[in-house]
Amino acid sequence: MSAFQTLAWRDEALVLLDQTRLPGELVYLECREVETAARAIEELVVRGAPAIGVAAAYGMVLGAGEALAQEPEAFRRHLQQSRARLARTRPTAVNLFWALEQMDQVIAATAGLGNHQVREQLLARAEALRAEDETLCRRLGQHGAALLQDGFRILTHCNAGSLATAGFGTALGLIYAAQAEGKQLKVYADETRPLLQGSRLTAWELQQHGVEVTVICDNMAAVVMRQAPIDCVIVGADRIAANGDVANKIGTYGVAVLARAHHIPFYVAAPVSTLDLSLAQGVQIPIEERRPEEVSRGLGRVTAPEGVGIYNPAFDVTPAELVTAIISEKGIARPPFAEALRRWGEGGNPG
Ligand code: MRU
């Protein structure tokens, strides 16, 4: 479907579409060491919760490859160091930790096997996670497409599309699935300061998929909701607490407040691997703070005077009471969310 691939395993390397260079250049970064993969995650070469998780899984395969010639004990120590390095990259997207736990299971299950066999099994699990991510996103998209009618105008924030997953996307996956059903949709993409994932990435990938898209600055959302008008908001998520509070790109909370003020449904699309049922509420979700230069030197020039304070949280938390529905590969959950999310987390259906 896409003319680009967000991430792939090729010739013993993790190959990432370098999202820091889009939309100007379509270039790929080859990661052959765990350190290169970890930096790629930190620097947003690969970003978006599900894509970060899959990239980290492949990062563990790279870690295994680095220590193949060592004694089993040293090999396993190196795997633990690789895991620790990958876990330090970005704190908010729970998919990262979920994917690393999947790799922990492989490591535990291969105790006593030779280094090469352990690496092979890590690679097999990483490949399975990548394939599964795409399948789940397609299923999620089909559930969510039922919420979208022909002619809908949709507002989205950040990028929760093919670029943020192993393929197809979550929030944008709904749009691709509805489009495949013959519905014509129009999307308004918030530019998403400070790093412009909306204007650089969402607008680019929607254009690649032939979806009509208009970019707006973040501070235009209220007026567009009133004037367009907007039929629904759809966003992705980096972590969803047990009560349905949603961590997503900074600015999402503000969009949810605006949607409520304009009586517009606010939908969150995310796979079950984005749930963190160990956290009762969103306030417990760790929020990544990034370098001040992303704000003060944001657009390739000085955008704030030297010496002023800069606050740069990468995510915020939208309270569950502002969320109209959460869509996952298991179906559509409506408030109150706790019971449905618990059943999803345990492998059941929302009912
Ligand atoms: O900092 P980023 O670009 O990784 O933030 C991404 C988002 O906030 C996405 O909306 C979220 O990860 C969902 S991606 C399917």
25 Cα: distance to centroid of ligand 1 (angstroms): 21
Q: Is the CB of 53 under 6 A from ligand 1?
A: no
Q: What is the pLDDT of residues 45-65, one digit of tens each?
A: 999 999 999 999 999 999 999
- The pLDDT confidence band at residue 248, using thresholds 50, 70 and 90, is very high
47 Cα nearest atom in ligand 1: 4
Name the phi and psi angles at 30, rounded to 5: -95, 125
Give yes or no for a contact between 128 and 161, defined as CB atoms under 8 angstroms apart: no
pLDDT at residue 351, as a whole number? 37
Task: Give residue limits of the domains in the chain.
Answer: 7-137, 144-345
d(CA 88, CA 65): 20
The alpha carbon of residue 130 and the mean position of all alpha carbons in its chain are separated, in whole angstroms, by 13
Q: Give the residue from 223, 216, 225 showing the smallest Cα distance to 263.
A: 225
pLDDT, the chain, mean:
97
Question: Residue 77 above 70 pLDDT?
Answer: yes
235 Cα: distance to centroid of ligand 1 (angstroms): 9
Is the domain defined by 7-137 classed in CATH 1.20.120.420? Answer: yes
Residues known to be catalytic: 238
Q: Is the CB of 271 under 6 A from ligand 1?
A: no
Q: What is the pLDDT of residues 11-41, one digit of tens each?
A: 999 999 999 999 999 999 999 999 999 999 9
Predicted structure pTM score = 0.97
Q: Is the CB of 158 under 6 A from ligand 1?
A: yes
Of 3.40.50.10470, 3.40.50.300, 3.40.50.620, 3.40.50.2020, which CATH number belongs to 144-345? 3.40.50.10470
